[in-house]
């Protein structure tokens, strides 16, 4: 299993992007590419080559599920773990996010200090580690 290094965070809220970046870079020792929209994520995907996509669900113009659908149409995501991050965490909503290609769902609000541990636990579970 390759070590987790690169996370693309797609989130329209600037304060959440900033907190997530700082936390994952300092606590998790990961490289984070923050994208304020699904369109920006699509533009930067190929150049950044993320291992994990941390995808907000509710965004203007292009929401998380729509962004993922467009990514799947343009890129091979077979080795990329997608985690949705949302306040929508009813059982049927979580099942939907998993059915469309999410590995798991992280609930908002989240504890920034434990975020990298949650992502790493998912990474290990996804890759049989």
Domain ranges in the chain are 6-126
The confidence band for 75, taking pLDDT boundaries of 50, 70 and 90, is very high
Cβ neighbour number for residue 57 with a 10 Å cutoff:
21
CATH label, 6-126, candidates 3.40.50.450, 3.40.50.300, 3.30.2310.20, 3.40.50.2300:
3.40.50.2300
Q: What is the pLDDT of residue 54?
A: 98
Could you tell me which residues are beta bridge partners of residue 52?
7, 81
Tell me the average pLDDT across 82-104.
95
Q: What is the CA radius of gyration of the chain?
A: 13
Pairing of strands 6-10, 52-56: parallel
**What is the C-alpha separation between 41 and 10, in angstroms, rounded?**
7
pLDDT band at 20 (very low <50, low <70, confident <90, very high): very high
CA 82/CA 104 separation, integer angstroms = 7
């Amino acid at each position: 299993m390759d070590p987790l290094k690169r996370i693309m965070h797609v989130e329209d809220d600037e304060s959440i992007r900033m907190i997530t970046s700082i936390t994952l870079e300092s606590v998790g020792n990961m490289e984070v590419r923050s994208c304020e929209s699904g369109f920006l994520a699509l533009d930067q995907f190929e150049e950044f080559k993320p291992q994990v996509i941390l995808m907000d669900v509710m965004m203007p113009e292009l929401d998380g599920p729509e962004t993922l659908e467009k990514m799947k149409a343009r890129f091979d995501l077979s080795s990329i773990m997608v985690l949705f991050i949302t306040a929508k965490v009813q059982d049927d909503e979580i099942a939907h996010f998993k059915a469309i290609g999410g590995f798991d769902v992280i609930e908002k609000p989240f504890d920034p200090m434990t975020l990298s541990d949650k992502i790493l636990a998912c990474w290990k579970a996804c890759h049989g580690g």
